[in-house]
Amino acid sequence: MNMMSKRYTTWNDYLRDSFGEKIFKVPIDGGFDCPNRDGTVAHGGCTFCTVSGSGDAIVAPDEPIPVQFDKEVEFLHQKWPGVKKYIAYFQNFTNTHAPVEILRERFEQAVNRPDVVGINIGTRPDCLPEDVLDYLSELNDRMTVWVELGLQTTYQATSDKINRAHDYQTYLDAVANLRARGILVCVHLINGLHGETLEMMVENVRRVVTDSDIQGIKLHLLHLMKGTRMQHDFHRGDLQLMRFDDYVTVICDQLEIIPREISIHRLTGDAPRELLIGPMWSLKKWEVLNAIDAEMTRRGAVQGDKAC
């Protein structure tokens, strides 16, 4: 990266450095399911997942893909009217969990636009067969392709509790296969999962940056949502929600061990107020981000200070 707007390399830093201008990431619901929901590998989905998956904030998820795209752009332009280039973000559920012919038909509806410069595809490590990898490689010859791999944790016991239904080695193999084709990889991790200490959360990051060739990372706070299987764990006392100060501390500890060339796509997430059980402090997203900035400044730290 040629510049950092903060003490870490933000997603916006990466986009401006790569494209020379602000780029919109346009979220799309491609109409896919997940293999741990439909019985392919398990039933019920991840225990933290709502019935709408990760697309609770998508403006018009039931519309055809081109209509979704246009409505999202219209919504985003209310805040940033001057942006003219976009990345199509297939966000909701597992966006490679279908035959490659279906992926091609749905993805092409979004990427065959002159104003689209890239595609981000949210998926799972166990949903990348060879023919899908070949299609992604073809797309990568045409535009920037990021694959966002939901891992959430490197600890198998935690993974089993949240019903991920795949292991860490599957993730490592998926990254290796994507990188062999030159495709950029962003890994998702969740802070605050069942029984994981702050030290374990930091170790999750240490493992993925040491064991896998990733170019981006998303760090999420666990949001406890109404109507999820995890809600029952919370009411039984099997799950403790993170405190604000602990979250800020662990994020800064994680940033210090992430090599600076890895872009930080997210440091916390968004949750609909009407569905959120907690932590309620997470609704004040800018207060969280400002506190992270302040703590990094207090430490005199920048991303990668303690990278191996």
Which of the 8 DSSP states describes residue 50? B
Residue 6 domain-assigned (yes or no): no
In a domain, 210, yes or no: yes
* pLDDT value at 308 more than 90: no
The overall average pLDDT reported for the chain is 94
| pLDDT the model gives residue 17 | 93
**Is 79 inside a domain boundary?**
yes
**With bands split at pLDDT 50, 70 and 90, how would you rate the model's confidence at 2?**
very low
2: in domain? no
Long-range contacts of 51-55 (CB under 8 A, 24+ apart): 51/227, 52/92, 53/92, 53/93, 54/91, 54/92, 54/93, 54/122, 55/27, 55/29, 55/91, 55/92, 55/93
With respect to residue 199, please indicate whether it lies within any of the assigned structural domains: yes
Q: Which domain range does residue 143 map to?
A: 11-299
The answer to whether residue 259 sits within a structural domain is: yes
- CA separation for the pair 72, 87 (Å, rounded): 12
pLDDT recorded at residue 263: 97
pLDDT (tens digit per residue) in 86-106: 999 999 999 999 999 999 999
Q: Is residue 110 assigned to a domain?
A: yes
Residue 305 resides in a domain: no
Count of domains observed in the chain: 1
pLDDT digit string (tens) for 145-200?
999 999 999 999 999 999 999 999 999 999 999 999 999 999 999 999 999 999 99
Note if the bond before 64 is cis, omega within 30 degrees: no
Residue 164 sits in a domain of what CATH number? 3.80.30.30
Q: What is the pLDDT of residues 21-72, one digit of tens each?
A: 999 999 999 999 999 999 999 999 999 998 765 555 667 778 999 999 999 9
